[in-house]
Every structure is written in structure tokens, then in C-alpha cells.
Amino acid sequence: MEITSCFCAIAAAAFIFTVLWKLRDGSGAQYWTAALGALLGALGASLYFLVPPVVCGVALLSCSFILVCVSERVELLPAKSRVVLVTGCDSGFGHILAKRLSEMGVMVFAGVLDANGAGAQQLREPGSENLQVLQLDVTDSSQVEAAHRYICAQVADTGLWGLVNNAGVLRCPMDAELHPITDYRRCMDVNFLGAVKMCQVFLPLLRRSRGRIVNVSSLAGQVPMPMFAAYGASKAALSVFSQVIRLELSVWGVSVALIQPSGFRTNIFGNSDDVTRYKDEILAAVSPKAREDYGEAYILSLPDSLSKMSQQSAEDLSPVVDDICHALLSVCPKATYTPGQMGWLLPFIHRYCPTAMFNAVVTNLIKNTDREPAALSRS
């Protein structure tokens, strides 16, 4: 009797977990799917009083299987005649997204940090008739205003359908105490304030078309991660900002979606020249007492973790690009997208599991260096 009751309890737990998993994205289609699953689960639970517990357990497991297998039909809006502005198109998500949207028939304005760089030249290659490259540093108000004037002249009265705030910087992951204050300012300027400025400038065009804003945040903006204080804080600010304007702009018919990728391999990790520069900057900014406690060997080992993090990240960027396209063109876009491994599991552990369990998981996952601070090694 105890075994069958235990089996039924495990089946019920699995079913509840599956319903929560289906609800995690918050889209209308997911709600309908989860509601259907909840109805099936209620029917299965009612069998507990009519049939043996083992039958009830099988019924609940069957409902879980149905929920997992049900896939929502993705209905997309026509792509042609729509105009989208994407920032940070020199490489990574923005670069691939600009090309993908252009191939779908969307008119794309691709903002780049260097209009003469290799990434911008690739976007200008033959076959990209629907794509225009714009010099656009999101921290430079004059460039933002110039891009706005140019796009206004191009779209006339049709407005702008989509704004994708993708531009972002990571800098060097390190202990929050060691982060130069300039790193905090740089991350806030690009990752948060730049996106805010873009929204403020382009919202009149987006309201005209009842269009969409897609803000690319990060898993680090929702879940606290060691060594990511500057980056995570800026992305957390972007996440809260996105949730607020999603509520405010709904009355205007403008949708706001948040993309929270986990680890993907892009140029945000920098190169060998960046690693050398970070080492010099950290040593120049760290206080004498912090240098003594952490040790120069530990401090200098931190920038080397960038290449390790890059190698451990997913090379295929398509899950993120697919989600951005869905947010821009789906009839029923989601409020939040979590592409990548651990994209929804870590937030779930952080929110619902004991703090000690979360601490153990995240500190083992995010271990950027094998060295210990000097003072801890001595003790």
C-alpha cells in the first residue's frame, strides 16, 4: 500500500512540475495548454477515490506526457512591409538576426558600433537588399538622434514595427569588490541606459504602427551569479524596465518582450587584446588592501576565465534568434523568453529551492578560476 501511495505522490509531483514548466513563458497559448492539463489532472486525481492509487498515478503521468508532447501552433504575421531596427549588429545575435529578418522580407535597419568594421561590411554583401547599416552607438545621443531622423524619413507615416535592443557589453567577470567603478558605469550605460534612450526616442514611431519592443537581457539579470555584479545589475535593471513598460504600453497596443539567454558564444567575451587590457585596468584600479588580500596572482587570473567561459558556452545562436523572431512576428508573443541550457531551471531553483541548495548549485556552475584569494589560501 505504501509503495502505490508513494508512486501516486511522485506522479502528482511530476504533473505539477509539468504544469509549472508549461506556464513558465507566460504566453496565452501556454496558459490554454496548462489549463487543459490542469483539467485532465483534476479528472485523474478524482479517480483516486474511485480506483486504486496505482491507476490514479498512471493517469497523472499520462497527463504529464500529453502536456510535454503538446506543441503550440506558431502563427506568424506577414513579414513583408514591416520595418525593424536592431542594435548591436556588428556580430553575435544582432548580426545573425539582421540577416534572418532581411531574408524573411523585413526591412531591417542594422545599427553597428563600427560602420567600417568587418561585421558591417558583411551585412552590406549582395543579397541584402532589405538591410541598411547605420552607425549607431547607443551611448551617443547624437548618433541615436541621427538614426531616428534617417528612419523617420524612410518609413514616413507607416511607423516602425520593431525595436530590438540587443547591444550589450560584458567586461571582465570578477569579484564585485574588484570591479573598477568604470566597469559598472560602462555596463549601465550600454546595457541599460542605452536601451532606455532607444525606447524613448523611437516609441512615437512604434506607437504609430502598434509595434513591438524586444529587449535582450540575460539569465544573469534574473539570477545572482558570482563574478557578474556589474553585468548582472545592468541586465536586472533592463529586465525590470521591460516589465514596467510592458504594462504601460499595453494601452497603446505596443508589445514588449524580454529575452533572457543563458550562455551563448558571442564576441561579448572579447579577445586576447581585451584580456591584456583588463589585467592592466584591474591592477590600476584595485586598492592596496584589496590587492594584498586577494593577491596579484588571483587578480591576474580573472581575465583568463573569459576564454574558458566562451568555450563552455553554446556555439549555436539560433535558439536566441528564433525567440527574437517569434517575439517580433508571432500573433501571440510571449512576455519572457529563456533560450539556452539552464534558462528556466536556474530561476526555478533560485525562487523555489532552499538558499543553501541554490548557493551550492550556482557556485559550482560559475567557477571562473581555480585560484583562491591569497588571504583565504593563507588561512
The rounded distance, in Å, linking the Cα atoms of 198 and 175 is 31
β-bridge partners, 337 = 259
The answer to whether residue 78 is domain-embedded is: no
Same domain, 169 and 219: yes
Assign 160 to helix, strand or coil: coil
27 close to 337: Cβ distance less than 8 angstroms: no
Selection from 180-194, 263-277, 342-356 with the highest mean pLDDT: 180-194
| Residues whose CB falls within 8 Å of the CB of residue 76, separated by 6 or more in sequence, listed in order | 326, 329, 330, 331
Question: What is the pLDDT averaged over residues 63-69?
Answer: 60
* pLDDT exceeds 70 at position 283: yes
pTM of the model: 0.81
* pLDDT exceeds 50 at position 379: yes
Q: Of 93, 130, 123, 127, give the one whose Cα is nearest residue 263.
A: 93
Please identify, among 14, 34, 69, the residue that sits at the C-terminal boundary of a domain: 69
The answer to whether residue 370 is domain-embedded is: no
Question: What is the pLDDT averaged over residues 235-251?
Answer: 98
Question: What is the pLDDT averaged over residues 20-30?
Answer: 50
- Among the listed ranges 1-10, 159-168, 200-209, 292-301, which one has the minimum average pLDDT value? 1-10
Same domain, 32 and 124: no
Same domain, 9 and 146: no
Same domain, 251 and 302: yes
Which carries the bigger pLDDT value, residue 188 or residue 39? 188
Same domain, 205 and 280: yes
Please identify, among 41, 69, 97, the residue that sits at the C-terminal boundary of a domain: 69
Same domain, 139 and 269: yes
Same domain, 25 and 157: no
Which of 184, 231, 337, 352 does the annotation list as catalytic? 231
The answer to whether residue 77 is domain-embedded is: no
Question: Would residue 231 show up in a list of annotated catalytic residues for this protein?
Answer: yes
The rounded distance, in Å, linking the Cα atoms of 85 and 147 is 10
Which carries the bigger pLDDT value, residue 293 or residue 10? 293
b/e sequence 25-47, b meaning 16+ C-beta within 10 Å: bebebbeebbeebbebbeebbeb
What domain range is 46 assigned to? 2-69
Question: What is the pLDDT averaged over residues 14-41?
Answer: 54
Same domain, 24 and 144: no
Please identify, among 13, 36, 69, the residue that sits at the C-terminal boundary of a domain: 69
The answer to whether residue 271 is domain-embedded is: yes
Same domain, 89 and 132: yes
The answer to whether residue 324 is domain-embedded is: yes
Same domain, 159 and 282: yes
Q: How confident is the model at residue 106 (pLDDT cuts 50, 70, 90)?
A: very high
- Among the listed ranges 140-154, 233-247, 345-359, 364-378, which one has the minimum average pLDDT value? 364-378
The count of domains in the chain is 2
The answer to whether residue 359 is domain-embedded is: yes
The answer to whether residue 278 is domain-embedded is: yes
- With a pLDDT cut of 90, the percent of the chain lying above it is 51
* pLDDT exceeds 50 at position 26: no
CATH of the domain at 133: 3.40.50.720
- Among the listed ranges 15-24, 32-41, 163-172, 236-245, which one has the minimum average pLDDT value? 32-41
Q: What is the mean pLDDT of the chain?
A: 84
Same domain, 49 and 90: no
The answer to whether residue 379 is domain-embedded is: no
Which pLDDT tens digit goes with each residue over 226-235?
989 999 999 9
Question: What is the pLDDT averaged over residues 169-185?
Answer: 91
Same domain, 47 and 160: no
